[in-house]
Amino acid sequence: MEEIKKLAQVHKILDYHVKNNPDNVSLSIDGISYTNSDILSKVLSFVGLLKKNKVTSGDRIAFLAKNSSEFIELMYASSILELVMVPINFRLAYEEVKFIVQDSGSKIIIFGEEFKELVEKLNADKTDLHLSFGISELRNLLKSKSPGEFDVSLSVNKATKTPLFQMYTSGTTGNPKGALISQKGIMSLIANGMNNLGPFDPNAVNLVCMPLFHIAGSAWLFFGLASGCENILLVDINPEKILDIIENYNVATTLMVPAVIQMVVIAAEKNNKVFENVKNIVFGASPMAVDTLKRAQIIFPNSNFTHVYGMTETTGMFMSLDPSELKANRRLESCGKCFSNSEIKIVDAHDNEVPAKTIGEIICRTDQIMDGYFNREKATNEAINDGWFYTGDAGYLDEEGYLFIRDRIKDLIITGGENVYPAEVENALMLQPSIIDCAVIGVSDPKWGEAVIALVIVNSDNFSEIEVRSSLRSQLAGFKIPKTFHVVDSLPRNAGGKITKHVLRDKYAYLGK
Q: What pLDDT score does 147 carry?
A: 57
For the chain, the domain total comes to 2
Spell out the residues 6+ positions from residue 466 whose beta carbon is closer than 8 angstroms to its own: none
Beta strand 304-311 pairing with 280-283 = parallel
Lowest mean pLDDT among 159-163, 314-318, 348-352, 372-376: 159-163
Q: Are residues 327 and 431 in the same domain?
A: no
Smallest CA-to-CA distance from 445 within 424, 416, 409 is with 416
Q: Is the Cα dihedral 461, 464, 467, 471 positive or negative?
A: positive
Nearest to 90 by CA among 70, 61, 119, 69: 119
Rounded CA gap, 410 and 414, in Å? 11
Which residues lie below 8 Å from residue 474, measured CB to CB, with a gap of 6+? Answer: none
Q: With cut-offs at 50, 70 and 90, classify the pLDDT of residue 366.
A: very high
Domain with 276 in it: what CATH number? 3.40.50.12780
pLDDT in tens, 135-170: 999 998 888 766 555 445 555 666 678 999 999 986
Residue 402 domain flag:
no
Share of the chain above pLDDT 70, in %: 95
Q: Is 503 within a domain? A: yes
Q: Indicate whether 417 and 392 sit together in one domain.
A: no
Do 420 and 466 sit in the same domain of this protein? Answer: yes
C-alpha to C-alpha distance for 282 and 320, rounded to whole angstroms:
9
Q: Please tell me whether residues 284 and 384 are part of one structural domain.
A: yes
Residues 84 and 10 in one domain: yes
- Give the up-direction half-sphere exposure of residue 195: CA atoms within 13 A in the CB hemisphere: 11
Residue 248 domain-assigned (yes or no): yes
Q: Which of 2-6, 60-64, 117-121, 436-440 has the lowest mean pLDDT?
A: 2-6
Decide if 322 contacts 334 (C-beta within 8 A): no
Q: Tell me whether residue 345 is in a domain.
A: yes
Of 397, 422, 447, the residue at which a domain comes to its end is: 397
SS3 326: helix
Closest to 85 measured CA to CA, from 125, 115, 118, 58? 58
Domain contains 354: yes
Is residue 446 over pLDDT 70?
Answer: yes
- 121 belongs to a structural domain: yes
Which pLDDT score, from 0 to 100, does residue 155 have? 52
> Do 328 and 446 share a domain, yes or no?
no
Same domain, 422 and 387: no
Q: Are residues 391 and 420 in the same domain?
A: no
**Three-class secondary structure assignment of 133-172:** EEHHHHHHHHHCCCHHHCCCCCCCCCCCCCCCEEEECCCC
Residue of 286 and 309 predicted with greater confidence: 309
Domain boundary among 397, 431, 450: 397
Q: Are residues 386 and 422 in the same domain?
A: no
Looking at the structure, tell me whether residues 388 and 422 fall in a common domain: no
Q: pLDDT tens across 164-221, in order?
A: 999 998 654 567 899 999 999 999 999 999 888 977 888 899 999 999 999 999 999 9
Query: Is residue 75 scored above 90 in pLDDT?
Result: yes
Q: Would you say residue 500 has pLDDT above 80?
A: yes
DSSP string across 252-307: -EEE--HHHHHHHHHHHHHTT----S--EEEE-SS---HHHHHHHHHHSTT-EEEE
Q: Comparing 195-199, 253-257, 302-306, 332-336, which segment has the lowest mean pLDDT?
A: 195-199
pLDDT tens per residue, range 370-402: 999 999 999 999 999 999 999 988 899 999 999
Confidence of residue 64 (pLDDT cuts 50, 70, 90): very high
Is the pLDDT reported for residue 343 higher than 50? yes
82-102 pLDDT tens trace: 999 999 989 888 888 999 999
- Whole-structure pTM value: 0.85
Bridge partners, 85 (sequence order): 61, 165
The Cβ-side half-sphere exposure at 117, using a 13 Å CA radius, reads 3
| Judgement on whether residues 340 and 456 belong to the same structural domain of the protein | no
pLDDT at 150: 47
- Which amino acid is present at 98? K
Q: What is the pLDDT of residues 242-256, one digit of tens each?
A: 999 999 999 999 999
Task: Note whether 118 and 96 are within 8 A (CB).
Answer: no
Residue 452 placed within a domain? yes
> For residues 248 and 316, what is the distance between their CA atoms, to the nearest angstrom?
29
Q: Is-contact 366 187, C-beta < 8 A?
A: no
- Write down the pLDDT at residue 287: 63
Which domain-ending residue is among 350, 374, 397? Answer: 397
Q: 266-270, 271-275, 509-513: lowest mean pLDDT where?
A: 509-513
What is the rounded distance in angstroms from the CA atom of residue 10 to the CA atom of residue 187?
A: 7
Among residues 109, 47, 52, the alpha carbon closest in space to that of 81 is found at 47
| Half-sphere exposure at residue 481, Cβ-oriented, CA atoms within 13 angstroms | 14
The amino acid at 320: S
Which pLDDT does position 414 carry in this prediction? 82
The CATH number of residue 448's host domain is 3.30.300.30
Average of per-residue pLDDT values in the chain: 90
**pLDDT attached to residue 112:** 97
Segment among 71-85, 178-192, 405-419 with least mean pLDDT: 405-419
Range of the domain at 422: 412-511
Above 80 in pLDDT, residue 280? yes
Same domain, 270 and 247: yes
Q: What is the pLDDT of residue 285?
A: 66
Q: Is the dihedral of CA 288, 289, 294, 296 positive or negative?
A: negative
Q: Cα–Cα distance between 79 and 81 in angstroms, integer?
A: 6
299, part of any domain: yes
Other Cβ atoms closer than 10 A to 279 = 17
